[in-house]
Structure 1
């Protein structure tokens, strides 16, 4: 069964959603899943340069006070810790994620997309990795099993740009309002960072 997840690389809820998804899938050891990460940039107008920290970004985008943004980040860090994830929201730098998504498309063509996706998210959310930086993309992707030369060639071209744009167009056709956004078996949709139980129920519906 195909499981598709639209997400962005600077979305804290997407790493939670991905982690919960794989825990849900582990409840079905006899099933065969094709997990596909689909590209969706939350803010394509962001610069490739890390101009703001995450708290400043939240204050400008959502008109919050910095104190409220930082409180929300501490709550996210605590929630992530309960899932076994390490978040450092104070280190995170929101940037344009187009090149990261192109590398993820390359990773899918090489059969290592899940591993590369998880490594990218851990880097962005836990280590302050700037996911628009090409050297960083090459390093993180290599740590997850993607050939560095393949990554460099992709980044030096416009390879997989059309794939990213197709994914984003498909997301709009699903009337996607936020990410993460899941589609099970091509039609069964589930929005937001659902719980492991909710994700498992969606899987079960589509396996029966």
Structure 2
């Protein structure tokens, strides 16, 4: 009987590798959250966001430039951005991606590690997503990161101190290294109980099935 009780009450950890500028990540996370709301053991689930920088070492540049580089000089950003914005809208998420920037999100991820230590990681993820995808927030700018982090509930002196140093850089790099070691090459990637993986913006039904199997 004791082993059955332990099984029922055991915490379930869901690790989500993501980047704050990945347009599929808010969509996938929204669908996962819908599945979690239907999951019988949702009170036992701990969600941890892990760092995955899509462009490590890359200086900020326009999304138009990024798409042209990735898909060829003849490819225009507008149709691609419109398509992903339409998918986001179906999830109730407003995207306004014209003239946004892409690049290395190291500082944003360092702040997310700080937020996790303070129990505010979910709030900061949501604030970064809303800022970047809906408000044209410059996530490569120190003052913008500081403002968004404080709005998510973090302590301003702690945030400023982090941004002026290199705290949590090793943690961000360790997350990325672990992702590569696990064969993760795209985000979002969801790892449930260290054994059930779900990649991309799957449906709530598929996420719920994964939670139940774990």
TM-score by length of 2: 0.90
Retained in 2: the 8 A contact 1:95–1:130?
A: no
Deviation at 1:171, TM superposition (A): 0.2
Q: In structure 1, what is the Cα distance between the partners aligned to 2:186 and 2:18?
A: 9
Alignment of 1:77 with 2:85, yes or no, is yes
Alignment of 1:26 with 2:37, yes or no, is yes
SS of the equivalent of 1:189 reads strand
Deviation at 1:162, TM superposition (A): 1.0
- Range with greater deviation from structure 2 (90-99 or 158-167): 90-99
SS of the equivalent of 2:15 reads strand
Match of 1:46 in 2: 58
Q: In structure 1, what is the Cα distance between the partners aligned to 2:135 and 2:99?
A: 7
Q: In structure 2, what is the Cα distance between the partners aligned to 1:120 and 1:131?
A: 8
Alignment of 1:55 with 2:64, yes or no, is yes
Which string of whole-angstrom CA distances, capped at 9 and with x for unpartnered residues, describes residues 68-89 of structure 1? x311110111111110001011
Paired residues in the alignment total: 202
1:15 to 26, 30, 38: 26
Retained in 2: the 8 A contact 1:92–1:127?
A: no
TM-score by length of 1: 0.92
Q: In structure 1, what is the Cα distance between the partners aligned to 2:107 and 2:37?
A: 30
Which blocks of at least 5 consecutive residues in structure 1 are unaligned?
Answer: none
Which string of whole-angstrom CA distances, capped at 9 and with x for unpartnered residues, describes residues 143-185 of structure 1? 1111111111111111001110110011001101211111000
Alignment of 1:142 with 2:150, yes or no, is yes
Deviation at 1:9, TM superposition (A): 1.2
> Residues 29-178 of structure 1: matches in 2 within 5 Å?
30-31=41-42, 32-47=44-59, 50-52=60-62, 54-63=63-72, 65-67=74-76, 69-178=77-186
Aligned CA-pair RMSD: 1.3
Match of 1:188 in 2: 196
Deviation at 1:103, TM superposition (A): 0.1
Which string of whole-angstrom CA distances, capped at 9 and with x for unpartnered residues, describes residues 48-91 of structure 1? xx432x12211112225343x31111011111111000101104
- Range with greater deviation from structure 2 (16-25 or 77-86): 16-25
Which string of whole-angstrom CA distances, capped at 9 and with x for unpartnered residues, describes residues 5-40 of structure 1? 101111100111111111211112543111000000
SS of the equivalent of 1:175 reads coil
Retained in 2: the 8 A contact 1:16–1:80?
A: yes
Which blocks of at least 5 consecutive residues in structure 2 are unaligned?
Answer: 1-11
Q: Which runs of 4+ in 1 moved over 3 A?
A: none
